[in-house]
Amino acid sequence: MAKDMMPAFELYQPDSLDNALELLSRFGDRSWIVAGGHDSFDWFKDRTKYAQYVIDLNNVNELKGINETSEGIEIGAMTSLTEIELNDVIRQRYSLLSDAVSRVASPQIRHIGTIGGNLNQDARCWYYRYGVDCYRAGGNSCYADTPEGQNREHCLWGASRCVAVSPSDVAPAMVVLEATMVIASANGLREVPAEDYFIGPNIDIERMTVIEPGEVLVSIKIPNTWANAMFYFEKVADRNTWDFPLVNISRAMFIENGVVSRIRMAAGAVECIPRRLSVVEQVVAGSELNEETAELASQAAIRGATPLNFNHFKIPLLQNLVKRALRA
Amino acid sequence: MITQAKTSRRNFIKGVIASGAAASSSAYMFGVSGCSNQQVSTGGVERLISLNVNGMTRNVDVLPNETLAMTLRYKLGLTGTKLGCDRGECGACTVLVDGVNLYACSLLTHTARNKQITTIEGLESSDGILHPVQQAMIDELGPQCGFCTPGQIMSAVALLSNNPNPTRDEVRRALSGNLCRCGAYDHYINAVMLAAERGI
């Protein structure tokens, strides 16, 4: 790990979204958008990725802040994770989100790390990050899915040449809350549901989201659908701070007359996208919450899981997290 | 005078953004390599900037790809801010930007313009009296080897300015972004609790 300067680039600090989009279309694939910068600068410092033109969005104030709307809330993509964690409306009505952001990385990273940056972060795989020519880097092999490959952090589902997982703690919470991603480009705005925003290697191996070149995630809309639901978030990682999840779980639920009337669950770090646990939802909806329901749900949760050499432990881990989420 | 200079610089940058094509094509004209640290900036941010560090305005030549830790240590001589991992994974480079503790290794200096930067050197008062957190670190024998101490102190100062009477757990959480390879965590927490007790 060199402690020298990053390779030189030209830095642009636009003060409006329009200017940022104009720069992005002018420089095309030679440009790189920086939000908080923690993921970006690691790539540059390690000489693994390089961009000639860096567009820093920190001065674009219109992308910052949390607003209440009639349909719910809207969070600007450049809002810091700390601001989301401490926001009163989110703590009262969407505590799943404040719990999830509070477990991301470390305090200093949350102070400048943004929700947009978190949701758009790149895959965490030792080999990919080391700069080898793996599938995700445009090459023709996978170094993690080999007999001696270190893959205890990797996926249980959705392997398609690449076996890396979605490393975000916030993404599964967004899927559970039925959030909508608002994406801007020179052609205007488009909206994509959180569940469709993240894509696996079978769709495009070189990116993790539907964001196309020239596009920027500008805000996230969270509808009233799950406001004030019973929420559960838990993250298991090797360390309590800084670390990425081994598995995390998000749940929103309403109980009426002693039975679960509505439930939505998703797990992170088990697939390249946040994994919606639809089968669990089907098992649990309409049932009372008891040990039998939890047991059935935990068995349903792991259907089709295909472990690699060193990540079998994620199967009982996910099962136990599902049980804990249904006991709480 | 300074205000005037700032305004015109801002207008200059806006002008550069607006008149895009000419600015970016000049990079080819001068044959500037994207990988050279000797690069002359041909568009984007201006290199000569003013930073507010520890209450003083410092004029400094900052490369576009320069992190705040590099500027503080190697351009301004403020070597109290340490570089451990240079990847936002250890916390030794923690400084305050507008009162918020951040990793100086993972922040571009240009992003910290027009903000108040405070380093470990800026904590003691002008008559040389140490900041209460610094004094408490000495009294409680907080540090062991001392390399991570400036970062730990900056995180503690940020905590106490928002929460003057934290619980031990709140201190633990506030300092969780600062690694200590000696494992002197409990000593650091003792010191922060003592500083809180004495009041800032």
Pick the CATH number of B124-200 from 1.10.4080.10, 1.10.150.120, 3.30.450.20, 1.10.150.240: 1.10.150.120
Number of domains within chain A:
3
Contact flag A37-B108 (C-beta cutoff 8 Å): yes
User: Using a CB-CB distance cutoff of 8 angstroms, which residues of chain B are in contact with residue A240?
Assistant: 176
Query: Rounded to the nearest 5°, which phi and psi values hold at B47?
Result: -80, -35
Q: Cβ of B190: how many Cβ atoms within 10 Å?
A: 19
Token digits for A59?
């001065």
| Contact of A161 with A135, CB cutoff 8 Å | yes
Of B20, B37, B86, the CB nearest to A3: B86
Which whole number is the average pLDDT over A53-58?
A: 98
- Residue B176: per-residue pLDDT: 97
What is the Rg, in whole angstroms, of the alpha carbon atoms belonging to chain A?
A: 20
Give the whole-angstrom CA distance, residue A67 versus residue A190.
19
3-class SS at B48? strand
- Is the model's pLDDT at A322 over the cut of 80? yes
**pLDDT digits over A125-151, tens only?**
999 999 999 999 999 999 999 999 999
pLDDT per residue as tens, chain B (200 positions): 344 444 455 454 443 344 333 333 333 322 333 334 455 555 789 999 999 999 999 999 999 999 999 999 999 999 999 999 999 999 999 999 999 999 999 999 999 999 999 999 999 999 999 999 999 999 999 999 999 999 999 999 999 999 999 999 999 999 999 999 999 999 999 999 999 999 97
Query: Does any domain span residue A54?
Result: yes
- Measured CA to CA, the distance from residue B152 to residue B143 in angstroms comes to 9
Task: With H, G, I as helix, E, B as strand and everything else as coil, classify residue A305.
Answer: coil
- Is A71 found in the same domain as A49? no
pLDDT confidence of residue B200: 72
Count of CA atoms in the C-beta half-sphere (13 A) of B102: 28
CB < 8 Å to B47, chain A: none
Q: Which residues of A touch B88 (CB under 8 A)?
A: 38, 41-42, 106, 108-109
Contacts of B149-152 spanning 24+ positions with Cβ under 8 A: B150/B80, B150/B81, B150/B82, B150/B92, B150/B94, B150/B119, B150/B120, B151/B81, B151/B82, B151/B90, B151/B91, B151/B92, B151/B93, B151/B94, B151/B178, B152/B91, B152/B94, B152/B178, B152/B180, B152/B188
Residues A241, B83: C-beta atoms closer than 8 Å: no
Residues A83 and A219 placed together within one structural domain of the fold: yes
* Cβ contacts of A163 within 8 Å, gap of 6 or more: A125, A142, A144, A145, A151, A154, A155, A308
Pick the residue of A3, A4, A9, A11 with the most B CBs within 10 A to test the interface with B by mutation: A11
β-bridge pairing A53-56 and A10-12: parallel
How far apart are alpha carbons B98 and B115 in whole angstroms?
6
Q: What is the DSSP string of A268-280?
A: ESSSSS-EE-HHH
Specify the CATH superfamily of domain B46-122.
Beta-grasp domain (3.10.20.30)
Which two three-digit tokens encode residue B1? 């005078």
Q: Give residue for tokens 């590099």.
A: B70
Closest partner residue to B65 (CB to CB) among A9, A240, A242 is: A9
Within-domain flag for A307: yes
Give the phi and the psi of residue A154 in degrees, each rounded to 5. -90, -165
pLDDT digits (tens, 9 = 90+) for A157-215: 999 999 999 999 999 999 999 999 999 999 999 999 999 999 999 999 999 999 999 99
Q: Which residues of B touch A10 (CB under 8 A)?
A: 27, 39, 41-44, 64
Range of the domain at A71: 61-120+169-224
**Residue A2 covered by a domain:** no
Write phi, then psi, for A233 (nearest 5 degrees).
Answer: -130, 135
Q: Rounded distance, CA A197 to CA A326, Å?
A: 27
Domain ranges in chain B are 46-122, 124-200
**Boundary of a domain, candidates A208, A224, A240:** A224
Interface of A with B (CB under 8 A): 1-3, 5-15, 19, 22-23, 26-27, 34, 37-38, 41-42, 44-45, 50, 52-54, 56, 58, 105-109, 111-112, 240-242
Contact yes or no for A10 and B36 at CB 8 A: no
Half-sphere exposure of A211 (CA within 13 A, CB side): 22
What is the interface pTM, i.e. ipTM, of the complex? Answer: 0.94
Q: What are phi and psi of A170, to 5 degrees?
A: -90, -30
Give yes or no for a contact between A306 and A316, defined as CB atoms under 8 angstroms apart: no
Q: Is B180 exposed, middle or buried (0-12, 13-18, 19+ CB in 10 A)?
A: buried
Structure tokens, B192: 């922060």
Mean pLDDT to the nearest integer, A228-247: 97
Same structural domain, A268 and A315 = yes
Contact criterion met (CB < 8 Å) for B85 and A1: yes
Q: Are residues A199 and A252 in the same domain?
A: no
B119 membership: H or E segment, kind and range: none
Report CB contact under 8 Å: A111, B86.
no
A138 in a structural domain: no
Question: CB-CB: which of A9, A45, A50 is closest to B64?
Answer: A9
Report DSSP letters for A206-243, one per residue: T-SBSPPTT-EEEEEEEEGGGTT-EEEEEEE-SSSSSP
